Amino acid sequence: MAVAFLAGALAALAMAPFNAFPVLAVSFPVAIWLLDGIVFPLENPAPGFWRSIGAAARLGWCYGFGYFLAGLWWIGNAFLVDADQFAWLLPFAVLLLPAGLAFFHAAGFALARLLWSQGNARILAFAVAMAACEWLRGHILTGFPWNLFGYALAEELHLAQSLSLIGAYGLTLVALVLFSTPAALVRRDGWRWPVLSVAILVAMAAFGVWRLGQHPTGFVDGVQLRIMQPDLPQDAKFNPALRNEVLTRYLALSRQPAADGSDGLAKTTHLIWPESAFPFLVAQDPEALKVLGDLVAPKAVLLTGAGRAEENLDDGGWRFFNSLHVIDATGTIIGNYDKVHLVPFGEYLPYQSVLESLGFEQLTKQRGGFSTGPGLRTLDIPNAPPAGILICYEAIFPGEVIDPTNRPGWLLNVTNDAWFGVTPGPYQHFAEVRARAIEEGLPLVRAGNNGVSAVIDPVGRIVASLPLGTSGVLDSRLPTTLPPPVFATAGTGIVTALFLIALIGAGLGCLNRRRQPR
């Protein structure tokens, strides 16, 4: 069990910011060999079928616990922002979330055991079972598809182009197959599998070279972006007493000269501020709206994250939303988007009323929690293509980031990763956001309180960026979009076909094992 834990922890190094994806070629084979030891032990008799299923699940849980503990420990940083109230929860958050997510890997190992064979087909059994459970992890209980194994291949831009064909879930299956093939080396003819894997990686890189060459970065005429990264301390962002200080800092930073010394704000058509920019409800503050209107040029707009409240007609109370406002030069809110995918325990509590009655509250300390917006939608933006809005966490869901009935011309992600400081978390978040641009063939603009703020073209090139943990402004043009790539139009069918092929291969190996004389 300790070996499984260490193998899982090793796999976490494949994720940002380390991006050491070759470690998977050690981690996955070790997992396969451990499963071999359960199903076909060398010395003791093999355990009964159901006992071996349980043993495989325990092995998978230890592997998953190592993977998620090593990859998600940084979440505990959020509980230190308001340490007086939440620090006592830190060990529970750091341990319980990985422990819970590890059950998906436990299910993956158990499912792999059902398809296990002594031949190399067991590589496919392991890969398809784990990939299926990674898909489930992205969907069950609102989903948490963070650090999917496929992201190990997405940091290298040429390999990342495969996201345009099969998305993050398909790339997860591919990564599991390719990096599991060293497990075949224990057999006499096993060298063929790793060699084939290297050939596939080379083919993927060649496709990436071709695709990047086909799509140089172009820019939308007449659109000049200014992205503001204030790097405000997290405890200041929800303190109404700091209203004036926060607003003054935003205004001063937005007026900062451009890199060439010119008046950057005067040339800006779209000023972008990050998620939850204000420690007050700006929509209910006419004075603040006037100040914001005076900030932007007559034909420019401000796009900013903000809390929003509306009266609940059912009970006369209020509903609160994590939103994005579009504010014009008159100080009028001319567009609005409400976040759809809320963060459990961060923006709402499961069984909210029950847990609140016991004295619990989510990290944002909004009584009653935030309400869910009506759905993903494309927002009209003056003097720019319509935009798909993604507030923070919403950008991590492959294939679920745009309104399929109204394709946008770009994606705008406003976020606040200051909860997690300068840790691996914000780098992992940025890697997943970048993957969405490639999957959808859309440029992506990102404004983060403490970074990473960036402009990304539709094939994943970083046009401009500000590093994590710094304060500044980022001036850039808006890249043009591409026609919808294969994943955006037929991705579900292609990924399903890949899963079925792997499943059939694993199933044939399992049937062959059962037909062999004992």
Catalytic residue list? 275, 339, 392
Closest CA to 398 of 141, 71, 144, 98: 144
- Two structure tokens written together for 437: 């641009």
- Two structure tokens written together for 38: 């359960």
- Two structure tokens written together for 10: 């090793």
Contacts of residue 253, Cβ cutoff 8 Å, sequence gap at least 6:
228, 230, 471, 472, 473
At residue 432's C-alpha, the angle toward residues 426 and 437, to 5°, is 125
- Cα end-to-end distance, the chain, whole Å: 29
Closest CA to 36 of 121, 130, 99, 137: 121
By 3-state DSSP, what share of the chain in percent is helix, strand and coil, each rounded to 5?
A: 50, 15, 35
Pairwise CA distance, residues 18 & 232, whole Å:
26
- The 10 Å Cβ neighbour count of residue 248 is 12
* Pairing status of strand 270-273 against strand 472-479: unpaired
Contacts of residue 180, Cβ cutoff 8 Å, sequence gap at least 6:
28, 29, 32, 123, 126, 127
Q: DSSP states of 140-197 as a string?
A: GGG---TT-GGGGGTSSHHHHTTHHHHHHHHHHHHHHHHHHGGGGGGSTTTTHHHHHH
Closest CA to 480 of 505, 504, 514, 455: 455
- In which residue are the tokens 């003054």 written? 248
Contacts of residue 131, Cβ cutoff 8 Å, sequence gap at least 6:
149, 169, 172, 173, 176, 499, 502
Residue type, 430: F
Pairwise CA distance, residues 415 & 227, whole Å:
12
Query: Can you list the alpha helix ranges (DSSP code H) found in 73-120?
Result: 83-86, 90-114
DSSP 26: H
At residue 177's C-alpha, the angle toward residues 172 and 181, to 5°, is 145
